[in-house]
Structure formats: C-alpha cells, structure tokens
Chains A and B, each alone.
Chain A
Amino acid sequence: MSTLSTLAGPGYPTRGPALREPIAVVGRNDAWDQVRTDLAECGTALLHARLADWEPDEPDGPALRQLLGRDWSRYLDIAHPEIRRRYAASRLLLKYAAGAVLAADPDELELSYGPTGRPYLRGCDQIDISLSHTEDLLLVGLTTLGLVGVDAERADRRLYGKGMGRHVCTPYELISLANLAEPQRNPALIRLWTLKEAYSKAIGQGMQFRFTEFGFGPDGKPARVHRPDGTPGTGDEWAFRTFLLSNGYCVSVAVYDAGFGRAMDTRFLTMLDEECVEAITSTLASGEGPGRR
C-alpha cells in the first residue's frame, strides 16, 4: 500500500490529526487490536475489506436480521442481488468494527441516519463513523475526534475528459489538472473526487455541496480544503489523506478534530456517567421521580 503521491512515505506530512494507512480486515475476529491501537493513538482508524470476506453466511437468515435491526426492511427492499450483498456486507463490517472498539456486541449497535442520510451509531456519540463501498471493496472510518468521511474508487476508473472536470473541479483545480502530463490527469482527478466525497460525507452534505465550490491542492503536499480561487478554506482542525491500496483502489479520508481531545475509553457502557446513573437511580428509588406525585 502507498499514498498516492510519489513523494509519499511513512513521513508524509498531513495537517491536523494523524491518519494511518487503512488496515486490511479479513475475518470476523481479525485485526481489531490494530484498529483499537490506531483509534487510541491517532483518534481515527481506517479499515478495508473484500466484499467476499464479509458476506453474511445466510443472506436471509435470522442472524443477519438481528444484526441489521432497523435496516432489515430497507435491506429486503433492495431488488438487485449485487447491491443487497454490498449493503449487508458493509453493515456487517461496520458493526463488527464499531463493536470491537466499543466493546459491544455488534447486534446491540443501531445504525441510524441523519436528515441528509449521514449514518451514525445511535446512542454512541463518542464515535463517528463513515462507510464506503465500491465493486468488491468495503471501507470504514471510525474516529473519536469529531467527524470522519471516507470514500473509495478504483484508481483506474475513467473520469477525466469531455467536460467532466467542469462539474467536479474548481477553476484552480482545472488549471492544475491541465498543467499535468496527460497520463497523470485521470488519477489526479480520481484523487480529487475521493477527497471531495470524503469531505462531503464528513460534513453530511453529499452532492448537495457542489464539488465546484470547494477544492484541494495538488498531490504531494498536505491536503486542505481550498476555495474556488485556490486560497485555503480550512485549517489544522481538518486532516485529509489519500492512499492507493495494493488492490488498485484509491481511498481518501477526511477527519475533523472538534477539539474535545481524544477519548481514551470508548467502551459502550462506560459512556454512561456513573454518578449521573446513581443520582437517577436513587431519585427513582426514593419515589421523587417525575412519574410519582
């Protein structure tokens, strides 16, 4: 695996919070120690997996129904088998990953969606999540810092050409792309695309925030959001990074550090403040609760 730039390496600088390479996850009990380590040390963990490794054993069985919870009816509503496979596998991976870092049973975690479709784990605001899947790749981002967005595309997917850049790029980016040698333009545009998708997912806007209204600088430098004229639009509270996986996918991540510090204990149950629970319990026991007069 490498970052996209030829300048990339272990010391490749990023602005903002540290971001390590995505961890490959093969089995249900695989690699979670590394995921927990990345989350503890960086505040963010990225992981990727093959679709085939995360398909449910029984696509219509009770185990999957239990795991999907409220997503079950949405899952059943998906007519196309390929989309159903990706839907189930991506949620399986996400819930196992979240369960590993929250010390919770994956079945206990409820995936909900905000007004713009942004997913979150209901009742677990200590961790933010992002999900991307394309072809046979599943990608998950987890952070305790604030917000995370991830996106993946095949690095060789054809995007550049025939006026496409006008819908994807700022004027500054269009000039930067035009200055590249022809073979470099498509991979550079794929990098920009995945960075924009990742940032849009992190802020919960999707394509409503037009890709021509914000941009990124050229590869090889720490990435940050630029205004259409190329001037900086974000500071060190955001971190962006792009990786080229050995299986040919270009993966980008955007992380926002809300400034609350890193959560050292992300376990599901410890997020309930013990003193608060005790106060409520004793109030209810004494008969002074709001339901008793």
Chain B
Amino acid sequence: MSLIESRDGFLRMLRDELGMDLAEEDLFTGLDRLAVWDSMYLLRLITAMEEDSGRRIEVRRILEAGCLDEIRAWADTRGDRGAGGAR
C-alpha cells in the first residue's frame, strides 16, 4: 500500500522525508500559512511521492494545490479520495 493513500501514511512521509512533523489538521492549512514551506519542499515532496507510488506526478497540476491534502489527493490518482472527502 502506498503511503499517500492514507493521511496517516502521508504524515509519516512528510515527517520522514521532509522533516515536517505535522498534525492531521495541518494538512488542510493553506500552504502559504505553513511555517516551513517553499518550492524546494514541494519538489522534495513530489520526489518522495513518486518514489512511494512508483508513478510520475505532474508538477504543473500540483502547483495548483492549496493545501497538503490537495497535493496528496491529486497524487493519489485513484480518484475516490478528493481533498474535500471525509477526514
């Protein structure tokens, strides 16, 4: 199972790969409101998600994400788990 398929797994990825120790509610915080977030973090996250899922991720689409959970949902292409879904 890929880590990005669940929020718990995604939080683990953020902690282990990016050193970001976040709570679940932080996944829904606007990216411009996160204390540590910039374009380098974004590309490191994309790289980690690609490694985890074995799929190439379209960077341009990820750039439109407003929060980490939107990034996770877009990267997880199963399609039944949008960012507005049940938490």
Determine if B1 is an interface residue (Cβ-Cβ < 8 Å).
Answer: no
CB distance from B46 to the nearest CB of A (A): 6
B25-46 interface with A by 8 A CB criterion? 29, 32-35, 38-40, 42-44, 46
Q: CA separation between A132 and B66, bound complex, in Å?
A: 21
Is there an interface contact between A167 and B40, defined as CB atoms closer than 8 Å? no
Asked if A292 is at the interface of the complex by the 8 Å CB criterion, the answer is no
Task: Out of B33, B42, B48, B60, name the residue touching A78 (CB < 8 Å).
Answer: B33
Among B40, B59, B60, B63, the residue within 8 A (CB) of A157 is: B40
- Residue A293 CB within 8 A of the other chain: no
Say whether A159 contacts B33, CB under 8 Å. Answer: no
B34 & A80 in contact (Cβ 8 Å cutoff)? yes
CB distance from B43 to the nearest CB of A (A): 5
A82 touching B43, Cβ below 8 Å: no
B-side interface mostly: helix
Measured as residues with beta carbon below 8 angstroms from the partner, the interface class of chain B is: 10 to 19
Interface pair A193/B40, CB less than 8 Å apart? yes
- CB pair B43–A164 under 8 Å, yes or no, is yes
* In the complex, A285 has a CB within 8 A of chain B: no
C-alpha spacing A206/B51, complex, angstroms: 25
Kindly provide the distance from the CB of A131 to the nearest chain B CB, expressed in whole angstroms: 14
Q: Are A167 and B33 in contact (CB under 8 A)?
A: no
B19 closest partner in A (C-beta): A158
Given A78-B33, A163-B47, A163-B51, are A207 and B40 also a contact pair (CB < 8 Å)? no
Nearest CB on B from A147, distance (A) = 20
What is the chain B residue whose CB lies nearest that of A161?
B47
Chain A residues 124 to 173 lying within 8 A of chain B, measured CB to CB, are 134, 153, 157, 159, 162-164, 166-168
Q: Is the CB of B63 within 8 A of A207?
A: yes
Closest chain A residue, CB of each to CB of B39: A207
Q: Does B8 contact A (CB under 8 A)?
A: no
What's the Cα separation between A197 and B38 when bound, in Å?
12
CB-based contact A83/B33 at 8 Å: yes
Is B24 positioned at the interface, with any CB of A under 8 Å from its CB? no
Question: Would you call B48 and A167 a contact (CB within 8 A)?
Answer: no
Q: Is the CB of A163 within 8 A of B50?
A: yes
Residues of B within 8 A of A (CB): 29, 32-35, 38-40, 42-44, 46-48, 50-51, 59-60, 63
